[in-house]
Amino acid sequence: MKQSPLNPKSVRTLAWGAAVAALPLLAQAQFPNYFAPGGGDRAGSWETYVALGGMSPRGIAYQNVGGTTDAVDVSVDTFFRGGVGVGYNINQFWNVNFELTVGAPDFQATGSVLGDTVSDTVYIGTGKLNLDWNILPGNITPLVTGGVGFVTLTVNDPNSGIVCYPDYWWGTVCYDQTQTEAAFTWNVGAGLRANFKYGIFVKAVAGVEWWLLDGANGVPYSIFGTLAVGMSFK
């Protein structure tokens, strides 16, 4: 039988030869200088934007509620949220931004200490300080982002009644007393950014955000997606 000329030894020889031949080309290749102080139309510009998106919190489990051995499981519905943000482009590749969003999903809480399933609305406010890495210098680039922030969760207090007070314009105004919990958060994500004429840009990001809630079993997390539309200016 006639032996093939591409035996394992010759394949290895060809591979090494191709690698050696490519070395001069790699030496001349121009890779982006991600830490250059300037350059590019994004560098040194401020930006403001409107952010719209959704968030899907995973289940939250609380242990030893009220100093007892009882547990409570909380399920928060997937919800729409919106907000605003401001950012600064350090150079063509790095963008630091701060974003505030609000949403009002329904939740269900179950546990023996509650006696029955409790359903209500939780008002969620979030703020985060993120650093975006725009991987490519062009107008369309993938990006990776990460940062830290906070979340506030406000619900009607089931142990308090309705508070009313007289108002000059509206007569008697009444509202439910509330309880608010604030927690530290951190997040990571990835997405795509596109810059257009007149400083207009669009940024789409999907990622995961963790909430360090007091008394929760483990660290609950939420999956989120955000579409930001804004303008850059110098």
pLDDT tens digits for 134-180? 999 889 999 999 999 999 998 877 666 676 777 767 677 766 677 88
Q: Identify the pLDDT of residue 164.
A: 73
Residues 161-170 have pLDDT tens digits of 676 777 767 6
Q: What is the pLDDT of residue 86?
A: 98
| Burial tier of 71 (Cβ tally within 10 Å: 0-12, 13-18, 19+) | middle
At 2 the pLDDT is 47
**In the prediction, which pLDDT does 195 show?**
94
192-221 residues labelled b (16+ CB within 10 A) or e (exposed):
ebebeeebebebbbebebbbebeebeeebb
* 36-233 fold: Porin (2.40.160)
**Which residues of the chain carry a pLDDT beneath 50?**
1-4, 6, 26, 29
The torsion angles phi and psi of 27, rounded to 5 degrees, stand at -65, -30
Q: What is the pLDDT of residue 65?
A: 61
- In this predicted structure, what is the pLDDT of residue 47? 97
Q: Using an 8 Å Cβ cutoff, are 211 and 153 in contact?
A: no
Residue 80: the pLDDT is 97
Can you give the pLDDT at residue 70?
Answer: 73
* CB contact set of 151 (below 8 Å; sequence gap of 6+): 124, 125, 126, 182, 183, 185, 211
Which two three-digit tokens encode residue 13? 């020889």
CA distance 88 to 49: 12
**pLDDT at position 104:** 95
Decide if 39 contacts 91 (C-beta within 8 A).
yes
What is the C-alpha end-to-end distance of the chain, expressed in Å? 74
Q: Which residues pair with 228 in a beta bridge?
A: 51, 203
What is the domain partition of the chain in residue ranges?
36-233
